[in-house]
Each structure stands twice: as C-alpha cells, then as structure tokens.
Amino acid sequence: MRIKVDFETKNELLHIEIRRKFVSFLKSAFEDYSKDFFDLMYGAGHQSKAFCFSIYFLPGVKITKSEITLPGKRFNVFFSTRDNLMGIHLANALLGRYNKWFPLADCDNQLKVLSVTKVKESSITTDAVAFKILSPVVVRDHNEKTGKDWYFTFEDEDFERIWKRNLKSELTKVFGGDVVGDVERLQFKPISLKKVVVLNYGIYLPCTTGAFIMEGEQYLLKYLYQGGWGSKKSLGFGLLDVL
C-alpha cells in the first residue's frame, strides 16, 4: 500500500534534521490514535517497523547546513508498506491530525495534515525493474560485539556484499531459508547513482541515491518496491519507486 500525505507548516523554517522531527511527530500521532498500537510499535525492545517513507519538498525549497526554508509552507510525505493493515493504521493515525496544528519537537514550527490519499502501486511483472531512489538508501554493517556501525555506498567494494547479507537476514524471517539463494542471485546494475551524506540523529550517514536496475525473482523485486531497501527505512530512508 502507498499513501501520500500533504502537510502545511506554520512557518517557512524547518530543522535540517527533518526526518528526526517528523518521526517524533509520527510517533505522537500513533500514540494519540491507539495506545495499544503505539506500544506494539515502540514498546520495550527493538521492533521492526513495516513501513518506509520519503519526504518530498516542492520546487523553491532552500536547504542549508542548519535549516530548510519552504517558501510555500508545504511538503509531501510518501509512505509504503507491504502490510495493508499497517497502511490502514498509518492512514487513520494521520487522518487524526487532519486540519489541526501540532508542534514539531524542539523547534518553533507546527504541522497540519491537509490530505491523506492512497496512491496506486506499480505492477511488477518482469524479472528486471528500473528503480528510482526516493529517499536515500542506507547500507549498514553493525558489529554486535563492539556496537559500532559502518556505512557503505555504491562506491564501496563491500556495498553489495553487505546489503545482500542484511537482506538475507531480513527476508529469512519473512519467507524462510529458501530465500537465501534468490537474494544471492539478485543482480544490481547502476544507472545513475551518487553518494550523499545525510544528518540523522546527530550522525552524518553516507547514503546512495539515484537510479538503478535490479534483476531477480519477481517476489523479491516487489518486496523491495513495497517495503524499501536498506537500513533505517522507518526513519525516512530506502523508499523506491518504479521508473
């Protein structure tokens, strides 16, 4: 399920860490919508969030190292999820903030939902799909012994090895062990990619953006399209669209 949400801001200035501020806003919307659902999503322990999103600014936006200026005081957020029930919860939680001002955390601005619209998904019927990256892709190598993280972009030698390893771990929980071979056979072919660095929770993350072709089993291509690609998807990374 894909959802487009139109927002209005109280004033033109947004914090440069807009993803962080927006996640706080979203969590608050979930909590107001359903305490039980909020506890399920953000309660004790690490919970995987079955959605990803991308923030889209309209033409004319100005971005500096510290702030974002929106001359029209408008922006859009696109959500995607494989789980229709999750999509319904997302839509209902955001509809609960329709036409009402709510503050953004730790900054002098507020958000108001103007509309929530279901967007038609593209059909994936071939074993090769050209994707456009709507929100930067994060590929993370987490060392559980040291607790340290390393991040890779398409320029790095281990980029493909790490994202495939992570995807195998993620999808084994969904499809079982047979998925491992299918993931290994995925073929990643850059079209036009570039490295970007994004500030997220005080850390500068090297990310990949642009366009690429992925070849492989249709169910895997559909999973990447609906569920996103890479790490930190529920924090505003990894959303793909079909070119």
Domain 2-119 has CATH 3.20.20.80: no
Please list the alpha-helical segments (H only) found in 16-158.
18-33, 35-42, 84-95
Give the DSSP letter of residue 130.
E
The pairs formed by 220-225 with CB atoms below 8 angstroms and a separation of 24 or more are 220/171, 220/179, 220/182, 220/183, 220/186, 221/124, 221/127, 221/129, 222/124, 223/82, 223/171, 223/174, 224/131, 225/80, 225/121, 225/122, 225/124, 225/129, 225/131
pLDDT recorded at residue 185: 97
Report how far residue 216's alpha carbon sits from residue 141's, in angstroms, rounded to the nearest whole number.
Answer: 23
Q: Is the per-residue pLDDT at 220 higher than 90? A: yes
Q: How confident is the model at residue 44 (pLDDT cuts 50, 70, 90)?
A: low
Report how far residue 45's alpha carbon sits from residue 63's, in angstroms, rounded to the nearest whole number.
Answer: 35
Closest C-alpha to 113, from 94, 132, 128: 94
pLDDT recorded at residue 107: 81
Q: How confident is the model at residue 174 (pLDDT cuts 50, 70, 90)?
A: confident
> Residue 187's CB: how many other CB atoms inside 10 A?
11
Residue type, 236: G
Give the DSSP letter of residue 61.
-
pLDDT recorded at residue 47: 67
Question: What does pTM read for this prediction?
Answer: 0.93
Q: How confident is the model at residue 147 (pLDDT cuts 50, 70, 90)?
A: confident
Q: How confident is the model at residue 46 (pLDDT cuts 50, 70, 90)?
A: low
- Classify 172 in phi/psi space as left (phi over 0), alpha (psi -120 to 50) or beta: alpha
Residue 230 half-sphere exposure toward CB, CA atoms < 13 A: 29
State pLDDT tens for residues 186-201.
Answer: 999 999 999 999 999 9
State how far the alpha carbon of 227 is from the alpha carbons of 31, 79, 145, 150, in Å: 23, 10, 28, 23
Q: Domain locations in the chain?
A: 2-119, 128-242
pLDDT recorded at residue 187: 97
Report how far residue 223's alpha carbon sits from residue 88's, in angstroms, rounded to the nearest whole number.
Answer: 19
Q: Is the per-residue pLDDT at 4 higher than 90? A: yes
State pLDDT tens for residues 59-85.
Answer: 889 999 889 999 999 999 999 999 999
pLDDT recorded at residue 162: 96
> Does the fold of domain 128-242 match that of domain 2-119?
yes
Weakest-pLDDT range from 82-86, 112-116, 143-147, 163-167: 143-147
Domain 128-242 has CATH 3.90.45.10: no
pLDDT recorded at residue 193: 97
